[in-house]
Chain A
Amino acid sequence: MTDTLERTSESEAPSPNPVDWSKVQKWGSLGGLTMSFIAAIGMVAALDKRIIISPWLSLGFITLLWVPVAYGYIAATEKASDGSPPPVKGARDIISGLVTGLISGALFALFIVIIDAVDLTDVFRNLGPKLVELLTFGLGLGAASVIWIVGSGLLGLIGGALKVVRPTVRRVVSSAAMGVFGVALLELIVTDISQGLHIEFVTDWLYAINGGLTTISAIVVAILFGLLGLRSDDRTLTQRRLDRMNLEPQVLVRRNAIAAAITIAAVIFLPMILGGLTNELLANVGLFVLMGLGLNIVVGSAGLLDLGYVAFFAVGAYTTAILTSPLSPTWTPELTLNFLSWEGWLILAIVLVMAAIAGLFIGTPVIKLRGDYLAIVTLGFGEIVRILFLSDWLSPYFGGAQGITNIPSAALGPVEIKGTNSQAMFYLIAAFVAIAIYVSWRLQKSRTGRAWTALREDEDVAEAMGINTTASKLTAFVTGAMFASIAGMLFAAKVGSIFPSSFKLLVSIIILVIVIVGGMGSIPGVIIGAIVLIGILGGPTQPGLLQEFGQFKLLIYGALLVVMMLKRPEGLWPSLRRQRELHHDEMSQDSWLQGTSYQTGGVPEDEQGGTRYTDDAAPIQDGDG
């Protein structure tokens, strides 16, 4: 973690520190518990069918095997305290890793022995003979225990060793491992692209028949990615981005233009070579990007924690359904969602107006609340909206639990965009996402956007500057609502029928997680967050790339959120503003250490009309006034 502080051990007099046994014990036990937990919730068994390297490594076992490596690495890390020289590396790290792994393995072996002795399937469905058989590889308990203890010890040793080796080696190893894992996991999309490009022979060679890489292709992929790791340097992604800021403006503009061109080209051409499933995935990602961008304005820019955001998604979807579906309980219109005819635009306009009304209706009474209170009240409103759509009382208008079906597909002129034609659907959604990105970006730079930031920073002072706080907050709230309503409209056109169960609290939470994981207030962050969460893990009802993870999705969301909050609170792709906010303390400390603090002598002397101030400790100049 502190790559910049690392020195090679030869350069300093090695004073071998003793192994921190309590730490090793702690992480070893934690490792055993983590592995047992993962096995107990059924992850190993459920994911065993997904092969990573055929025939000997499945995703199920990877969920166990990463534990000793990671915990061994952590246990080997000696915490450097401020001011003391960086810790000397050496045998102690490797021993720490090894022992951590051994403890984890031993505890896990004990776990296997226990579930073999006591059949707990009545209480915990997964803890039965099947799991034992899987975890003992069909060998006896004794042999399996030895394998787990020795194997886990070796993995722990690798983890500890990774701490000792040079950063370059570490980078190459992790790059190779991530490469193999990634290529194997993304089998679906890689196959899809190679089919689109008519280079199936690559994937035929790459992947085994039952899925997963073959041993040989895994080695090749590892070498390729290892070389890639060799080329990169020690800077973190954020550091790179901060460094980029210091480039010449012309260079920066050119680079940004190139990046934008590549992105646009990818969005336009990629769907053409992708299959239906992948396009479907991308369309779902697009919908959540749209909602994420909206919530990003409310939470990220204006700092209003809205937990009932799904309400506006629902309003957009229901408005579209009522206006267009021939089976709508309220009326039976013959409107279509054709975006080149006036009807499509009329529907869009009505959806936006309804969202604005809903935003004002919900926002006006609650907008004066701050922080936690706002979060709780909006959460309540979100549920109220869903329950109203579900209620028998309003079922003559909204169809109750039966929802509204037969929503016509969208169309662009003569081209009908059915929900089943995921490629066309993706283009439609992408068009709206592009508009939303542009609007978000303009808003961030605008006077309104700046007022939102000021509001988030210090509401009282913002008010004293003449900013109408209530109006500004409502504007943010309503703008966010409009983004979500467009997503709702597209969602209705895409799936063709809507039910109250599509608009649960979980949707609000997942959108919020997208914004947080991506990086609050950052537009690219929202896109990356949506790709990671919706595209790879899957949305509340939409399957992701890793469909096998489906039943563990929420667990992974939760774990991801906790790890992110602890280790990278600024998000995956933070706005540089927020990056600086969160590391502000370090920066001011740095400037203080470098002696560039300006506590005294703030104004040059010539500005002071003859009054002179010294630059050192402030002399008391009071009392003669």
Chain B
Amino acid sequence: MSDQAPVLEFRNINVHYGPVHVLKDMNLSINAGELVCLLGGNASGKTTTLKTILGMVQPSSGDVIIDGDVVTGEKIAGIVSRGVTMVPENRRLFKRMTVKENLEIGAYLRTDRDSLDAEMEHIFEMFPRVKERLNQKAGTLSGGEQQMVAVGRALMAKPKVLLMDEPSMGLAPVLVQQNFDIIERINGEGVTVFMVEQNANMALSIADRGYVLLTGRIVLDDTAPNLLANEDLRKAYLGEVD
């Protein structure tokens, strides 16, 4: 699946929020087509990692590299046009806009506006439900439908790398399963997925590889089956989950 060319890299990234050292000497390397998850508990720096990739947070040292280019210091719009988009935590749709408008905002930066319809068709194919709800306010949808729209909105940008912030957050267990199925499908279509999760068991069940973050430092880095088998991790995380 992966062709071993890193599409997203962190080189010795340090991030500070004022005096707080949030990410410590972080190194990541994600290859094209991979499905990688970043595991960690509360306040371990997971969301900050995603924000650093998107340029919403600037690292105090180190480089973010996308497709071989150093993008540290670039604006969000620049990163998004390089093909990196995020599905935010808790979905956070524009609740009072219609589903269609939400999808269109996702394609805000695309210049090839003619092919948007094709993109939308593709999303409908994946989520027929979204098509049914196209002119409904996003806020009136159920949690599962909102998740589909959130993913659809991100896909409208035709991303190379999809960042997912806690896809299982706030969803009923049956919807969590469904959500992970969606992520697997998107990854199957060739989109690199970098997912941040607390639900280690579920995340590792679909991921190729995983990183484990502990108070801002990566403490484990292995393939998913190895991580699942790892005794320390089981004790630290899997015991706690559900």
Contact = CB atoms under 8 A, between A and B. Distances in A.
Contacts of B94: 453-454, 457-458, 461-462
Given A600-B144, A602-B144, A457 B129 contact: no
Contacts of B105: 450-451, 454, 462, 465, 467
Given A451-B108, A599-B142, A464 B96 contact: no
Given A463-B56, A464-B56, A599-B172, A457 B127 contact: no
B174 interface: yes
Contacts of A5: none
A623 B80 contact: no
A464 B86 contact: yes
A463 B80 CA distance: 10
Given A466-B108, A468-B77, A581-B96, A598 B144 contact: yes
Interface in A239-295: none
B167 interface: no
A364 to B, nearest CB: 17
Interface in B122-158: 126-129, 137, 139-145, 147-148, 153, 157
B56 A450 contact: no
B30 to A, nearest CB: 19
B148 A603 contact: yes
Nearest to A614: B174
B220 interface: no
Contacts of A600: 142, 144, 172, 174-175
A483 B128 CA distance: 43
Nearest to B206: A625
A611 to B, nearest CB: 6
Interface residues of B, number: 49
A233 interface: no
A577 interface: yes
Interface stretch (A387-395, A566-574, A584-592): A584-592
Contacts of A468: 75, 77
Given A465-B80, A466-B108, A622-B176, A604 B128 contact: yes
B92 interface: yes
A334 interface: no
Contacts of A599: 142-144, 172
Contacts of B242: 622-623
Contacts of B81: 466
Nearest to A468: B77
B177 A611 contact: yes
A584 B141 CA distance: 11
A580 B77 contact: no
Nearest to A581: B96
Contacts of B140: 584, 587-588, 591
Interface string A86-129: 00000000000000000000000000000000000000000000
A608 interface: yes
A560 B128 CA distance: 47
B181 A609 contact: yes
B157 A466 contact: yes
Contacts of A447: 108
A457 B173 contact: no
Interface string A447-488: 100110110011011111111100000000000000000000
Contacts of A618: 172-175
A12 interface: no
A457 B108 CA distance: 15
A420 B183 CA distance: 70
A466 B109 contact: yes
B173 A603 contact: no
A457 B88 CA distance: 15
Interface string A607-623: 11101010000111111
A547 interface: no
Contacts of A458: 92, 94
B25 interface: no
Nearest to B201: A625
B60 interface: no
Nearest to A587: B140
Contact of A607 (B92, B101, B104, B128): B128
B174 A619 contact: yes
Nearest to A608: B181
A341 interface: no
B141 A598 contact: yes
B97 interface: yes
Given A602-B129, A603-B178, A604-B128, A450 B101 contact: yes
B33 interface: no
B181 A611 contact: yes
A464 B88 contact: yes
B144 A622 contact: no
Contacts of A598: 129, 141-142, 144-145
Contacts of A597: 142
A620 B95 CA distance: 28
Given A580-B96, A584-B139, A625-B205, A602 B148 contact: yes
A588 B142 CA distance: 10
B54 interface: yes
A577 B96 contact: yes
Nearest to A578: B96
B101 A453 contact: yes
B202 interface: yes
B92 to A, nearest CB: 5
Nearest to A591: B140
A453 B95 CA distance: 11
A41 B194 CA distance: 68
A461 B95 CA distance: 12
Contacts of A463: 56, 76
A608 B148 CA distance: 13
Contacts of A465: 80, 85, 105-106, 108-109, 153, 157
B145 A602 contact: yes
Contacts of B148: 602-603
Contacts of B174: 600, 613, 618-621
Interface string B92-114: 10111100010011101100000
A618 B184 CA distance: 22
22 contacts: A450-B105, A451-B108, A457-B94, A457-B96, A462-B94, A464-B80, A464-B88, A465-B109, A465-B157, A466-B77, A467-B77, A467-B105, A584-B96, A584-B137, A591-B140, A598-B141, A598-B142, A598-B144, A599-B143, A602-B144, A602-B145, A609-B181
Given A450-B101, A466-B109, 13 more contacts: A450-B97, A450-B104, A450-B105, A454-B105, A457-B97, A465-B80, A580-B96, A600-B142, A600-B175, A603-B129, A608-B178, A611-B178, A622-B173
Q: Which 8 A-B pairs have the closest CB atoms?
A: A602-B144, A466-B80, A625-B205, A598-B142, A618-B174, A466-B109, A457-B94, A466-B77
